Chains A and B, each alone.
Chain A
Amino acid sequence: MNKALRNPLIYGLFVLPAFVLFLAFFVYPILSAMNNSFTSWNGISKNITYIGFDNYLTAFQDAAFWKSVRNNVYFILFSCLIQVPLIVIFSLLIANVKRLKGLYKTAVFMPSIMSTAVIGILWGFIYNPDFGLANEILGVFGLPQVYWLSDKNWAMLSILITNAWQWTGFYIVMVLAAIISIPKELDEAAAIDGATGFQRATRITIPLVMPIISVVIMLSMAGAMKAADIVLVMTKGGPAGSTDVMATYMIRYAITSFRHGFGNSIAVLIFVFTIVLTALYQFFVARRTERIEY
């Protein structure tokens, strides 16, 4: 067997099926999208006109596009600055509970297995201005009613909270698995040396799970860049485009208007922005946290 696989021809032939699938379902669609992005194709016509970088210029000159980019940035910032710290805190708390750990894990994981449509409806009730839980809570503190999904000042935040609620549990389970895999001796030795719980968490546990936290941040960033379903379900990009992200901008201004060439250019931009962002993160941040030795 080993001898056979040392033969480059046989090795190549074994790689070929997977390589063909990779070309057909990954490389070809990307190249096709890039090609279409330089056209004014309406998605139907056989006559395709090449218009150079016009689609890209249209996007770059459109304030609504940059507004959608800004909303993607909000998604990323909310994930990295609010969601990730919460994930770490909850993971540490759950890792240290003595009873019902399974119940907590299941409870936090539950939202991530629910359909986004269901979550949209569920949180739609929570944000309902008349009888929603969010306003009921505000009412207890004597605060005025908030139009969560109708007011452009609150709509984006409402979506970010819902999105965080949906995915936090998924990442908690990932970080929790990493925490549990840390040899107990390390924690016990620190405790014997007089380290407090907080010190053990910040000086031992968190540094040791940094690689997985780094992966969580990267996945959050990639997820934030391609976010669309939660926005469509909750606000459809409204009110007046205030919650549009790049993907919903693409649907609103390109796909529904039979501007597939323009739509493809937005898809390419999402792809490029995501690649650049994750590459920068990988280069400047993630590489430093990759090597952990117990």
Chain B
Amino acid sequence: MKKSFVLLLSLFLLSSIMLAGCGKAANEGAPATNGEQPATNDKPSEPKASEEPFEITIRHTQVGESKKFRLALLEDVVKKTQEAVPGLKIKLDAVDSEVNRKEKLRGEMAAGKPPEIFDVFGSPDAALYAKEGLMLDLTPILEELGLKDKFTTLAPFTHDGKIYGLPIGGSIEGFFYNKAYFEEKGLKVPATLDELEKLAETIKADGKIPFAQSSKDAWIPLMTTNNLWSYYGGPEITYGFKTGETKWTDENMVKAVAKHQEWVQKGYYKKGELGFEYADMRNQIITGEAIMMMDGSWANSVFRDPAQAGDTVGKIGFFNMPPLKAGDPVVVMQDANNGYGFSSAVAEDPRKLQAVKEFIKFMWTEEMQLRGLKEDGVLPAMKMDLEQMKTTSDDPLMQDIFKAVSEIGTSFPAFDALVQAEVNTALSMGIQQIIGGEIDPVKMLENVQAAQDAANAAEPQ
């Protein structure tokens, strides 16, 4: 009997420990707003409530040596925001970008409890979270702060006419090229697509690889395809895929994809590039194996860093993909898809809302944008005077990028900001099949259109 009692007692003790371990802190499980409720109820008088300490979390992705300048910039903004809002304590939560995007933030969104401020990609992520009412509508705040028209583009963060996030920086896509090689061989930056092809032919005849490209990740070759189809079909063509106004099977789309395939077949890219990593194509430029490379302007940091680029520093230039005909407007992918979003729960707490406003006020200033450009080579997400941008760096590569920005006739966002994720998957598969020579452009685009039709059907317009 005694033994049974002891056994039962120990069992209850163990069970209690287990249940306690599985439990949550009193305020953990409840929605953020409920957690704040007692504080405001207990302290009805305004001055007292405003002095009460409170905390917000910023989920950022400034992890590692390469992002140290960006982290310092964020820390400065955090400091200023804390000083401006009495009682505010900001907790910085650093998470790797991919882990945040694909796992942590998604999990928090599914649970309905994202951090107050978080790193987010505009499209398709922000639109989906906004649709579920999980992101704060920034439109009135931007109007109040006079920031609404200050950005180059807010399209990736705009859903149903409302703005749900702000990009931290911008970028353009174009060709990095070996300037020293061009000078040595008497080559010129091409003015038309035809000239670019002749250039590629000359470089190939010289025994070099005309274009560095790594297609293990399909978004890399798709930079070239996206820019090509924006010339052949016009930059507006991509906007119509989701609404059904335009089709992937359009003859101009076929021409663009066929052109990309033709370049592959002519040997303008290194054989076996379907198995190469992103870093491999940069190495092809750095070692002098390849001469040109389509990439985002963000890659300037690699070619300006002696630790990564070695002797190539100062020898790399940048130009936009040229138009089909001389004199036609230069059409360039100019995007700003990564930035910060804010939890919709913030709107229910005036003090947190104030903290968010102050954060936006300090983060999106001309000074901070120029600092990002100077320290990191990240193009501003906000509209800025070109001459002012030029003053931030006398590096020849940065000057080339500024020149390329000044030449833009029409800009467009990357295709993945305008189509559904399923379409991006089909396109990614298709471009690898094109490069591998497994499929012809017509069939490939039919497959993409089928994915587009399915995605459009699942998402009533």
Partners in one complex: yes
Contacts A4-B4, A152-B436, A235-B216 given: A44-B272 contact, CB under 8 Å?
no
Q: In the complex, what residues of B have CB within 8 A of residue A150's CB?
A: 271-276
Let me know if B15 is at the binding interface, CB within 8 A. yes
- B3 CB, min distance to chain A CBs, angstroms: 6
Let me know if A155 is at the binding interface, CB within 8 A. yes
Query: Which of A44, A45, A64: most chain B CB closer than 10 A?
Result: A44
- A217 CB, min distance to chain B CBs, angstroms: 31
Using an 8 Å CB-CB cutoff, how does the interface string of B83-124 with A read, 1 for contact, 0 for none? Answer: 000000000000000000010001001101000000000001
- A93 CB, min distance to chain B CBs, angstroms: 34
Check A147 against B7 for contact (C-beta < 8 Å): no
Check A147 against B109 for contact (C-beta < 8 Å): no
Let me know if A223 is at the binding interface, CB within 8 A. no
Check B4 against A258 for contact (C-beta < 8 Å): no
Check A238 against B216 for contact (C-beta < 8 Å): yes
Check A44 against B106 for contact (C-beta < 8 Å): yes
Using an 8 Å CB-CB cutoff, how does the interface string of A109-147 with B read, 1 for contact, 0 for none? Answer: 000000000000000000101000000000000000001
Interface set, chain A 1-59, CB cutoff 8 A to B: 1, 3-4, 7, 10, 13-14, 16-17, 20, 40, 42-46
Q: In the complex, what residues of A have CB within 8 A of residue B106's CB?
A: 43-44
Measured CB to CB, the nearest residue on chain A to B276 is A150
Measured CB to CB, the nearest residue on chain B to A244 is B429
Q: In the complex, what residues of A have CB within 8 A of residue B435's CB?
A: 239
B contact patch SS: helix
Q: How many residues of B contact A (CB 8 A)?
A: 40
Check B421 against A238 for contact (C-beta < 8 Å): no
Q: How many residues of A contact B (CB 8 A)?
A: 39
Let me know if B187 is at the binding interface, CB within 8 A. no
Using an 8 Å CB-CB cutoff, how does the interface string of B200-231 with A read, 1 for contact, 0 for none? Answer: 00000000000000011110000000000000
Q: In the complex, what residues of A have CB within 8 A of residue B15's CB?
A: 16-17
Q: In the complex, what residues of A have CB within 8 A of residue B438's CB?
A: 152, 240
Measured CB to CB, the nearest residue on chain A to B434 is A240
Measured CB to CB, the nearest residue on chain B to A1 is B3
From A4, A7, A240, A259, B432 is in contact (CB under 8 Å) with A240
A contact patch SS: loop
Check B217 against A236 for contact (C-beta < 8 Å): yes
Let me know if A252 is at the binding interface, CB within 8 A. yes
A129 to B11, CA, bound (A): 62
Check B432 against A238 for contact (C-beta < 8 Å): yes
Measured CB to CB, the nearest residue on chain B to A259 is B422
- A106 CB, min distance to chain B CBs, angstroms: 32
- A257 CB, min distance to chain B CBs, angstroms: 4
Check A257 against B275 for contact (C-beta < 8 Å): no
A17 to B17, CA, bound (A): 11
Let me know if B458 is at the binding interface, CB within 8 A. yes
Contacts A44-B128, A252-B425 given: A239-B275 contact, CB under 8 Å?
yes
Let me know if B433 is at the binding interface, CB within 8 A. yes
Q: In the complex, what residues of B have CB within 8 A of residue A152's CB?
A: 436, 438
- A132 CB, min distance to chain B CBs, angstroms: 11
Interface set, chain A 191-240, CB cutoff 8 A to B: 235-236, 238-240
A100 to B215, CA, bound (A): 46
Let me know if A253 is at the binding interface, CB within 8 A. yes
Check B7 against A4 for contact (C-beta < 8 Å): yes
Check A149 against B421 for contact (C-beta < 8 Å): no
- B361 CB, min distance to chain A CBs, angstroms: 30
Let me know if B129 is at the binding interface, CB within 8 A. yes
Using an 8 Å CB-CB cutoff, how does the interface string of B262-274 with A read, 1 for contact, 0 for none? Answer: 0000000001111
28 A-B contacts (beta carbon < 8 Å) = A10-B11, A13-B11, A17-B11, A43-B106, A44-B110, A44-B132, A147-B271, A147-B274, A148-B275, A150-B271, A150-B273, A151-B272, A152-B436, A155-B275, A235-B216, A235-B275, A238-B216, A238-B275, A239-B275, A240-B274, A240-B429, A240-B433, A253-B425, A255-B102, A256-B102, A256-B425, A257-B422, A258-B421
Known: A147-B272, A258-B124. 8 other contacts (CB 8 A): A3-B3, A20-B18, A44-B129, A46-B112, A149-B216, A149-B275, A240-B274, A253-B422
List residues of B whose CB falls within 8 A of some A CB: 3-4, 7-8, 11, 14-15, 18, 102, 106, 109-110, 112, 124, 128-129, 132, 134, 215-218, 271-276, 420-422, 424-425, 429, 432-433, 435-436, 438, 458
List residues of A whose CB falls within 8 A of some B CB: 1, 3-4, 7, 10, 13-14, 16-17, 20, 40, 42-46, 64, 127, 129, 147-152, 155, 235-236, 238-241, 252-253, 255-259
